Structure 1
Amino acid sequence: MRVPDSPDALRLTVADLLKDEARGLRLSLLSPEVPLEREISNYRIQKHGLIFAGFDQFFEPERMQLMGVAEVAYLATLTPERRLEVVAQLCVLQPICIIVTRACEPPAELLHKCTECEIPLLQSQLSVSAFFDAVNRYFEDFINPETTIHGVLLDIHSTGVLLIGKSGVGKSEVALDLLQRGHRLIADDVVVMRFRPPATVVGESNAILKFHMEIRGLGIINIEDIFGITAVRESQRVDLVIELIAWDEYDGSKRLNLEPENFPVLGVNIPKATIPVNPGRNLVTIVEVAAHTFRLQEQGKNTSSALLDDLARRLNPDSD
């Protein structure tokens, strides 16, 4: 899990918005002379056009301020003197930064005032709505905890299945067979797990190992090159964990699976199934059935419990 070693470990500044990790925001700097070390402490965005009318009652300077096409068009209707007065009203409040969306060119008066007041002025290629979505995802990735797990994450009929187990138990081989059946790979070996509110864990591949898989005897293979783009996906919610174990390690007392197992990840309990590995067992089909069974259980259908209930009624017909 990402845990800060110091108070600055999770410190986010305006400069961070221009780094590769934030390239999805498609930002560029319009005021290069301005320092960019202002700390972003509020992860909400504000689009406050009313400030140009002199109404600043609900203005929150610690938020990033967005300007869209409408605000830029409004400023263009003003005389240069009035435009300078209006942007001065905004800059005197010292917002953390100002972002102009849809690649709009801000008026020269705004750039001048931002430089004078040392307020970072940035430009995004995205529309206001697209920027809202992108920056919220960026903040979620930055704030929320993450961890890595050794395993293979697959999309099996829209169910995120994480295969875990000791090295050499056959996780990658099972995954390879599943890919041949049309299922999709998210990550092999190193699965990056991220928490998503309110209680979801999403897995994705390590950036270096993305869409690669190690098969003993073959070495490293690229799944996207072999099976095509439809055999991979960027991320997937983790719905089910399947642990592959040696046959002699399996606890036979749990054969009916009446007591559900859970696998805790980042404070979220994910349903877990344990499958013993033995030569001759068709693990691929078993894993597929496990994914289907999980979906049925989500709908309240538990075959083992239903069978035992029916058996109890037959053995004790007078108990009803």
Structure 2
Amino acid sequence: MPKKIKVSDLVQRFSMEVVCGEAGLKRVITVSDLYRPGLELAGYFNYHPRERVQILGRTELAFFETLTIEERKERMGLLCSEETPCICVTRGLTVPEELIEIATERGFTVLRSNHPTTTLSGNITDFLEGRLAPSTTIHGVLVDVYGIGMLISGTSGIGKSETALELVKRGHRLIADDAVEIRQTAENILIGNAPDLIKHLLEIRGVGIINVMTLFGAGAIRTNMKINVVVKLETWQQDKQYDRLGLDEELTRIIDTDLPLVTIPVRPGRNLAVIIEVAAMNYRLKRMGYNAALQFTNRLTETLNNEDVYENET
């Protein structure tokens, strides 16, 4: 289910003036799109998106002044519907009396901001998209390794936090430990962050909870990070065949996004931090167009073909 935020959140975030209709501050906003009702002021309401926040700028209000009193009351009455969260007037413009009268009567919120229409619309859209984005929480650790967001997953006690600690000691940055809040801000873009309660904290069995920022400094942490790769730690299974070339790229789905999955078997003697560093660097090289496994396969095929030609000639 999508998240819901209240009109009062807009007022608080953008320091907007409540012109009238304080009772409507509890109305919820369920979509991030905004709407400037130009055609509606002209009387065309057939496809009016009532669920959106309505923005009235200089153009809309200038046209509104050309209408008769009866038309003004009619249009504002239709704009102030039950489904509409609120109406925002920009540039500090004077709010029409007809709008104030109808909104006050219905308990409908009218807001005013001194910001230009385009600026306010962009800021509100960014705010709503961030707050209303699909989200989930995953058990794991998120680390920034060479600018690549590595989400380390695995069963409890496999060594995720210890690996993250080693990565932090090697100069990388921690975003979240134990619980990673993930939201999809756009198509194929996942942003991860830590819940406020455990922000900057790392749990190490035998030591306890440590504050990474206090121990290693502000350069050892990040607030949020785009997730690029999922690293799955699992106990080494002797009878399982693990990928040794890296030709077959596995994928895992989080929300509606498919991410590359790297499975690393864990057993004594393996330096997981170094392996994850190499996985991050290898991911960067693939994005730049260099695939070591593919090049090795091509060279091997070329060598075998040359040997066949030589044998046929002799």
TM-score calculated relative to the size of structure 2: 0.77
Match of residue 195 from structure 2: 206
Residues 139, 179 of structure 2: 8 Å contact kept: yes
Q: Does 1:91 align with 2:81?
A: no
Q: Distance in 2 between matches of 1:271 and 1:100?
A: 45
- Report the AA paired with residue 158 of structure 2: V
Alignment of 1:232-311 (within 5 A): 232-248=221-237, 251-311=240-300
Residues 67, 98 of structure 1: 8 Å contact kept: yes
Cα 1:167–1:12 change in 2 (3 A) is closer
- Report the AA paired with residue 293 of structure 2: S
Alignment of 1:1-320 (within 5 A): 4=1, 10=2, 12=4, 16-19=6-9, 23-27=12-16, 29-36=18-25, 40=29, 43-48=32-37, 55-57=42-44, 60=48, 62=50, 63-67=52-56, 70=58, 88=73, 91-95=76-80, 96=84, 97-101=86-90, 104=92, 106-107=94-95, 109=97, 111-124=100-113, 128-141=117-130, 143-248=132-237, 251-317=240-306
TM-score calculated relative to the size of structure 1: 0.76
Q: Greater CA deviation, 182-191 or 91-100?
A: 91-100
Match of residue 7 from structure 1: none
Cα 1:165–1:208 change in 2 (3 A) is same
Q: Distance in 1 between matches of 2:115 and 2:56?
A: 12
Q: Distance in 1 between matches of 2:71 and 2:145?
A: 56
Q: How big is the shift at 1:137?
A: 3.6
RMSD over aligned CA atoms reads: 3.7
Cα 1:288–1:128 change in 2 (3 A) is farther
SS at match of 2:214: helix
Q: Distance in 2 between matches of 1:319 and 1:128?
A: 72
Q: Greater CA deviation, 222-231 or 155-164?
A: 222-231
Q: Distance in 1 between matches of 2:285 and 2:279?
A: 10
| Partner deviation per Cα, 1:167-215 (whole Å, 9 max, x = no partner) | 2222112212222333222211111122233222222222322222212
Cα 1:125–1:163 change in 2 (3 A) is farther
Q: Distance in 2 between matches of 1:72 and 1:254?
A: 62
Residues 34, 115 of structure 1: 8 Å contact kept: no
Q: How big is the shift at 1:252?
A: 4.2
Q: Distance in 1 between matches of 2:133 and 2:122?
A: 16
SS at match of 1:291: helix
Q: How big is the shift at 1:32?
A: 4.4
Cα 1:27–1:210 change in 2 (3 A) is farther
Q: Distance in 2 between matches of 1:124 and 1:227?
A: 43
Residues 187, 257 of structure 2: 8 Å contact kept: no
Residues 30, 123 of structure 1: 8 Å contact kept: yes
* Long gaps (5+) in structure 1: 5-9
- Report the AA paired with residue 191 of structure 1: V
Q: Distance in 2 between matches of 1:85 and 1:230?
A: 62
- Report the AA paired with residue 7 of structure 2: L
Cα 1:199–1:260 change in 2 (3 A) is same
SS at match of 2:140: strand
Q: Distance in 2 between matches of 1:229 and 1:167?
A: 28
Q: How big is the shift at 1:294?
A: 0.8
Cα 1:66–1:29 change in 2 (3 A) is same
Cα 1:130–1:251 change in 2 (3 A) is farther
Residues 30, 132 of structure 2: 8 Å contact kept: no
Q: How big is the shift at 1:303?
A: 0.9
Q: How big is the shift at 1:37?
A: 6.0
Residues 92, 117 of structure 1: 8 Å contact kept: no
Residues 193, 225 of structure 2: 8 Å contact kept: yes
| Partner deviation per Cα, 1:265-295 (whole Å, 9 max, x = no partner) | 1232210112223333332222111001011
Q: Distance in 2 between matches of 1:249 and 1:163?
A: 22
Match of residue 312 from structure 2: none
